[in-house]
């Protein structure tokens, strides 16, 4: 048996080498420079060894691999930027070489003359699946944990190690484009149906089946390397392709508004690559990948949606020196939909939950929410009956606060009323054990104010979930002025356990996400009042990169809640805190028209019974004199949406609410879908440069109001040519320590 740092190589009596990828000290295998060097050596060794008849490549972990390591991606960007400062032309040449390294390694495997079979278990994504595609055979487990995908487009790049050339030579072009431009995950059976894997077997048969493929005489030649190879569906110049290719760019533009260079590059790679020999296709892919890596979108998306998300998820903001807390029992007070959903995700993470409400009947109704979610998960094949039963057994409804006597964390999710919350705090703290943490799920009330009702404010923190809890990946962890480090550590340990991404923010009204969301919706109120047709408002927002228009989002949040927020702002901060025209609009919608949003099927949209789709309420156009479409500049509408949100994000930094730019970016994307191609609200500013942003904001302020005026911080950054990531460098402490 040959041993490497990240692999073991063992050859059996039949001459079949088993290469097992099992990186020490990591929960998942990832590609690093060292991994690639070792894999290269293994290819050389197995090729040169006459006793080796074939190779099975598998993972020693519960998952195959998640693809590239973030440190390798970061080093590629940093080396490119350093080289570019010296010689832009040489920097591109160096980048082109780096881009081709993995693709060249996989092509070397594919043409080694020995049959390779990939045995896929668990997650197999990105470069790991591209490696599998270079193998001559692929066997996947039928376990529901198997997720096969090329998800690179979600972080601003595309499958650049042969994926754009191998997938459309195995599957038909339409399915290949769908898979790569959306980054969708495939089950083993779906991958087999697309001809991307050869067999799907029981987990314990994975290695035997892979070895049997070699024993059965698997040819060590890829289909495209054989004479007479024909593309699935007949290739580019066929009647079917004549329907696909003219439509594909139009469909992509409809879905992305041209905001994602990587998605368009996938179309180009496939279209051009299928018309040339395979190795030429790889060069085409390499060229486009090098181009995409130089775009602002790729840099910003990789930084926020790949690197920063992983760093925050792994506890980048967790205080040092505090032992990790593994919570066994959590209490949730408030069994309404939000509290019940928090109980569900907690139980799904294997943690026992006591769900408290005013009486057992109300608490049991809360558990029924989990029962509905479990039923849905079973129907979609995400849970087995046994797993569902185990999950539900971990949720115990109760009307007695004494049942919280042994919890390590309590999450309060009751009505947004200070007096109601005060009563809950008193009742919980009467039984809460020493050292347990109290967290409020409030979305509007400052944590510091709520903590004044607590006898132990150091153990009081905010954990703000977003609805629907089981789908939304973000949580805001909010620090009151007296919140201690241990409370923060426990909160982050809990968020990690339920597999959410946390951002840590200091206390303020609306925290970070809701402050930005309210600016987004407020801008749409301004546009309505100006007479911009509602459909143009919604479409411009989506063209700017937002996943849902502001009016549709307001319907989801609830318009009557927007009215309560406006009234609360007036009560707490005075009449000048809001635009009176906004109060008039929202009061009319709620109090005169009875339109509360999706929850009563009447809001800015009408919601007819399914399967009919929602549509904008026709009478909305009668509220204000309407402008003609040709009088409205859609590009300005797009700018207004993005700039108003980015300005609010900048204000939170200036006020010390957000202290780490990674959290503003990740929070803006995961919290409400801020144009992901920008990398987030602060990356949007950094990407265009503070001076260009300040100039744009000043132009908008002249026409559309003082809320567009740049803040002093932005003016200072512009004057000094600085960025948010430069001035508020999240790695400064790490660099100093190093």
Q: Report the catalytic residues.
A: 464
CB of 679 closer than 8 Å to CB of 303 = yes
How far apart are the C-alpha atoms of 69 and 79, rounded to whole Å? 16
Other CB atoms within 10 Å distance of the CB of residue 260: 25
Tell me the angle at which helices 681-688 and 690-704 cross, rounded to the nearest 10 degrees: 110
Contacts made by residues 131-134, CB under 8 angstroms, sequence distance 24+: 131/57, 131/106, 131/161, 132/57, 132/64, 132/197, 133/106, 133/162, 133/163, 133/166, 133/167, 133/170, 133/196, 134/106, 134/107, 134/109, 134/110, 134/162, 134/166, 134/222
* Beta-bridge partners for 355: 332, 397
Tell me the angle at which helices 88-110 and 127-134 cross, rounded to the nearest 10 degrees: 50
Q: Is 503 helix (H, G, I), strand (E, B) or coil?
A: strand
Would you put residue 331 in left (φ > 0), alpha (ψ -120 to 50) or beta? beta
How far apart are the C-alpha atoms of 27 and 20, rounded to whole Å? 15
* Residue matched to tokens 């004044």: 452
Q: Omega of the bond prior to 349 within 30 degrees of 0, cis?
A: no
CB of 300 closer than 8 Å to CB of 683 = yes
Q: Is 22 helix (H, G, I), strand (E, B) or coil?
A: coil
| Cα–Cα separations (whole angstroms), residue 532 to 562, 629, 634 | 21, 8, 10
Tokens of 618: 């026709």
Q: What are phi and psi of 355, to 5 degrees?
A: -105, 110
How far apart are the C-alpha atoms of 435 and 455, rounded to whole Å? 12
Tokens of 31: 């590609």
Q: What are phi and psi of 16, to 5 degrees?
A: -100, 120
The alpha-helical segments, DSSP class H, found in 318-410 are: 337-348, 360-379, 385-393
CB of 265 closer than 8 Å to CB of 158 = yes
| Cα–Cα separations (whole angstroms), residue 678 to 81, 155, 557, 652, 666 | 19, 11, 24, 19, 11
**Per-residue buried b or exposed e for 338-358, using 16+ beta carbons within 10 Å of the residue's own CB:** bbbbbbbbbbbbebbbbbbbe
Would you put residue 118 in left (φ > 0), alpha (ψ -120 to 50) or beta? beta
Contacts made by residues 31-35, CB under 8 angstroms, sequence distance 24+: 31/65, 31/67, 31/68, 31/69, 31/72, 31/102, 31/127, 31/128, 32/6, 32/69, 32/71, 32/72, 33/72, 34/5, 34/6, 35/6
Residue length, the chain? 738
Other CB atoms within 10 Å distance of the CB of residue 497: 18
CB of 69 closer than 8 Å to CB of 101 = no
| Cα–Cα separations (whole angstroms), residue 124 to 144, 179, 208, 303 | 13, 14, 19, 22
Other CB atoms within 10 Å distance of the CB of residue 728: 18
How far apart are the C-alpha atoms of 453 and 456, rounded to whole Å? 9
Return the percent helix, strand and coil in the chain, to nearest 5: 55, 10, 30
Q: Give the H or E element holding residue 131.
A: helix 127-134
CA 25 to the chain's CA centroid: 25
């Amino acid at each position: 048996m040959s041993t490497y740092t990240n692999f073991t190589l063992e050859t059996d009596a039949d001459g079949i080498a088993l290469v097992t990828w099992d990186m020490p000290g990591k929960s998942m295998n990832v590609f690093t420079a060292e991994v690639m060097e070792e894999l290269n050596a293994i290819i050389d060794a197995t090729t040169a060894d006459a006793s080796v008849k074939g190779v099975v490549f598998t993972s020693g972990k519960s998952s195959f691999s998640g693809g590239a390591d973030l440190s390798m991606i970061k080093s590629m960007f940093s080396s490119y930027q350093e080289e570019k400062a010296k010689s832009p032309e040489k920097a591109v040449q160096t980048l082109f070489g780096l881009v081709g390294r993995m693709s060249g390694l996989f092509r070397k495997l594919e043409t080694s003359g020995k049959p390779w079979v990939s045995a896929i278990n668990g997650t197999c994504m990105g470069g790991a699946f591209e490696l599998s595609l270079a193998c001559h055979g692929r066997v996947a487990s039928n376990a529901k944990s198997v997720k096969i995908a090329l998800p690179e487009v979600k972080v601003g790049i595309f499958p650049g190690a042969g994926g754009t050339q191998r997938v459309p030579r195995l599957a038909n072009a339409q399915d290949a484009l769908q898979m790569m431009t959306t980054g969708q995950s495939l089950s083993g059976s779906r991958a087999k149906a697309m001809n991307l894997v050869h067999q799907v077997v029981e987990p314990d048969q994975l290695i035997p089946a892979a070895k049997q493929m070699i024993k059965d005489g698997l040819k060590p030649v890829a289909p495209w390397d054989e004479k007479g190879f024909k593309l699935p569906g007949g290739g580019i110049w066929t009647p079917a392709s004549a329907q696909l290719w003219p439509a594909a760019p139009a469909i992509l533009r409809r879905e992305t508004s041209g905001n994602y260079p990587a998605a368009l590059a996938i179309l180009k790679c496939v279209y051009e690559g299928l018309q040339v020999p395979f190795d030429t296709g790889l060069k085409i892919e390499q060229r486009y990948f090098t181009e995409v890596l130089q775009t602002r979108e790729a840099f910003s998306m990789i930084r926020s949606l790949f690197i920063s998300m992983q760093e925050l998820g792994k506890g980048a903001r967790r205080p040092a020196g505090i032992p990790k807390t593994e919570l066994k029992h959590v209490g949730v007070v408030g069994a309404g939909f939000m509290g019940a959903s928090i109980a569900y995700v907690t139980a799904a993470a294997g943690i026992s939950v006591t769900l408290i409400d005013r009486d057992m009947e109300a608490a049991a109704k809360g558990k029924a929410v989990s029962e509905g979610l479990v039923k849905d998960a079973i129907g979609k094949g995400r849970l087995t009956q046994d797993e569902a039963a185990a999950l539900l057994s971990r949720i115990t409804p109760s009307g007695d606060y004494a049942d919280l006597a042994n919890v390590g964390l309590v999450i309060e999710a009751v009505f947004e009323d200070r007096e109601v919350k005060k009563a809950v705090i008193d009742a919980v703290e009467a039984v809460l054990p020493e050292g347990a943490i109290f967290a409020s799920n409030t979305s509007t009330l400052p944590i510091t104010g709520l903590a004044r009702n607590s006898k132990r404010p150091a153990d009081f923190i905010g954990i703000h979930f977003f609805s629907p809890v089981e789908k939304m990946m973000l949580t805001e962890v909010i620090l009151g002025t007296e919140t201690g480090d241990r409370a923060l550590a426990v909160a982050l340990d809990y968020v990690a356990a339920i597999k959410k991404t946390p951002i840590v923010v200091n206390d303020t009204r609306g925290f970070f996400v809701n402050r930005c969301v309210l600016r987004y919706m407020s801008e749409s109120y301004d546009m309505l009042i100006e007479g911009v047709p509602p459909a143009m408002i919604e479409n411009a927002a989506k063209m700017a990169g937002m996943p849902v228009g502001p009016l549709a989002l307001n319907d989801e949040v609830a318009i009557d809640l927007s009215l309560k927020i406006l009234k609360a702002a007036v009560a707490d901060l005075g009449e000048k805190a809001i635009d009176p025209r906004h109060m008039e609009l929202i009061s009319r919608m709620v109090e005169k028209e009875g339109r509360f949003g999706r929850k009563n099927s009447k809001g800015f949209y009408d919601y007819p019974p399914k399967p009919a789709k929602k549509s904008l309420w026709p009478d909305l156009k009668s509220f204000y004199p309407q402008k003609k479409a040709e009088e409205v500049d859609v590009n300005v509408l797009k700018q207004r949406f993005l700039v108003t949100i980015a300005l609010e994000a900048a204000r939170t930094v200036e006020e010390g609410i957000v202290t780490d730019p990674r959290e503003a970016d990740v929070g803006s994307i995961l919290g409400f879908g801020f144009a992901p191609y920008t990398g987030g609200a602060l990356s949007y500013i950094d990407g265009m440069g503070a001076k260009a942003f300040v100039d744009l904001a000043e132009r908008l302020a002249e026409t559309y109001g003082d809320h567009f005026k740049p803040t002093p911080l932005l003016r200072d950054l512009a004057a000094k040519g600085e960025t948010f990531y430069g001035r508020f460098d999240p790695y400064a402490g790490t660099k100093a320590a190093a």
